[in-house]
Amino acid sequence: MSELWKLSATEIAAKIRAKEVSAVEVAQAHLDRIDAVNPALNAVVQHMPDEALAAAAAVDADIAAGRDVGPMAGVPVTIKVNVDQKGFATTNGLKMLENLIAEHDSPVVSNMRKAGAVIVGRTNTPAFSLRWFTKNDLHGQTLNPHGANITPGGSSGGAGSSVASGMAAVGHGTDIGGSIRYPAYACGIHGLRPTLGRLPAYNPSGADRHIGGQLMAVGGPLARSMDDIDLSLRAMAVEDLRDPWWVPAPIDQGAFPRRAALCVHPDGMEVAPEIEIALRAAADTLAAAGWEVEEVDTPPLQPSADINAQLWLAEMRQGVDKLVAQEAEPDSQHVFAVMQSLSAPVDAGGLLNALRDRVTHLREWQLFLAQYSVLICPISGMLPFDQQADVQSEDGFKAIMRAQLTQLGLPALGLPGLAVATGSASGKPMGVQLIARRYREDILIAAGRDIEAAQPAILPVNPQ
């Protein structure tokens, strides 16, 4: 079997453009890899080999004719099943949506096609994309290639598992409470949550979201190298007028002070010793690369996490709660019930106050990030969770929520965050999170490259 599936997206695009390999060969190698490892992982839950090979053949034909094939020429990618892709069900992990066949592509799918990417499959998500674990009654449970006992993360757990195991070079994910950054962390790869408005988003098959989803949910890439994060971000971020939130901000915004802040315990959150070691090592790496690094306290994150819960649950209480009962999937019912117990319903005044307070906290963070170009902080306070740890007990779920403070606080602020893989610790993947001011993903990627340079290259892993 060809081992082209081991290559990065950047390497694949360059080789295809140079006619060293064909897009069809690359697509077939990744489809073969899916056949080889997906039965053990269940990351790809909607398969499309014929469509993938046809798209790859079109890339080869364009190259042969001298036509532009886009920056991701022939790169195999996966798309999460909670966004529309024409001809496939936008299930969001739900039995009730098993037959919701999209008639049009969402902007991210359209942009990936325009960039020359080849979609090789669609990846799993928990029911309602609600958890940091990936399991549902329609598609089943996704496993982590680093170990069946470790969550692959969620809600983009299928994306993380597919990229970490070499089924695709880039995975598309979405993040409203850590759903890109956490799967990247759990699967030992990189994951970028862009700024609100950076990537256009829209699902023609469904109704527009309420204000919480509009302000906090974004799409973004998961990949095994920073070059691939950069490449795929540029492809995904192209304008689509169907999303009124899209902002025409350039990705390259010029020089910035190489000044970083380190915060090991944001808002006093508890952090495992292995995570503190990784954070301090990343800070030392940046310092060795010429950054000025200062250990400081950040502005509060807990109030933003509370706003996240208020806005998210206010949206779910507008009818999604009835769908949770109708779907009758035990895990999402448990998680939704505990989440409701932790955040009381808000009336119209409470919602207005939350939106007002969001601006107050974002102002504090903007001023902080004007002093420091990048913040180094935990992705989570715990090592990647054991499978299904959130549904074992109510106290266990509450402990997980406390550990995910940085996952929850960032979306309410609309700031970009990057999960950077830094190896492993205690038999589990390890990583750190970088945060920058709005629309400065270029700073995150630059800092991420400096940290990445001190680590061994991330290669696809075989299921353990």
Read off the CATH number of the domain in which 373 is found. 3.90.1300.10
Q: Tens digit of pLDDT for each residue in 172-197?
A: 999 999 999 999 999 999 999 999 99
Is residue 460, in this structure, part of any structural domain at all?
no
Cis peptide before 155, with omega less than 30 degrees from 0?
A: yes
Q: Tens digit of pLDDT for each residue in 239-256?
A: 999 999 999 999 999 999
Is residue 148, in this structure, part of any structural domain at all?
yes
pTM of the predicted model, to two decimals? Answer: 0.98
Say yes or no to pLDDT of 2 above 90. no
Domain count, the chain: 1
Among the listed residues 7, 430, 438, the one whose alpha carbon sits nearest the alpha carbon of residue 196:
438
**Residue 415 sits in which domain range?**
4-452
Is residue 111, in this structure, part of any structural domain at all?
yes
By annotation, the residues acting in catalysis are 80, 155, 179
- Which of the four pLDDT bands, split at 50, 70 and 90, describes residue 457? very high
The C-alpha atoms of residue 56 and residue 68 are separated, in whole angstroms, by: 14
List C-alpha distances in Å: 342 to 165, 203, 210, 329, 398.
Answer: 36, 30, 21, 20, 9
Is residue 462, in this structure, part of any structural domain at all?
no
Q: Tens digit of pLDDT for each residue in 61-119?
A: 999 999 999 999 999 999 999 999 999 999 999 999 999 999 999 999 999 999 999 99
List C-alpha distances in Å: 321 to 5, 178, 267, 333.
Answer: 41, 21, 31, 9
Is residue 20, in this structure, part of any structural domain at all?
yes
Is residue 463, in this structure, part of any structural domain at all?
no
Is residue 459, in this structure, part of any structural domain at all?
no
The arithmetic mean of pLDDT across residues 373-398, rounded, is: 97
Per-residue buried b or exposed e for 343-355, using 16+ beta carbons within 10 Å of the residue's own CB: beebeeeebeebb
Per-residue buried b or exposed e for 139-155, using 16+ beta carbons within 10 Å of the residue's own CB: bebbbbbbbeebbbbbb
- The DSSP line for 408-446 is HHHHHHT--EEEEEEEEETTEEEEEEEE-STT-HHHHHH
**DSSP summary character for residue 178:** S
Is residue 359, in this structure, part of any structural domain at all?
yes
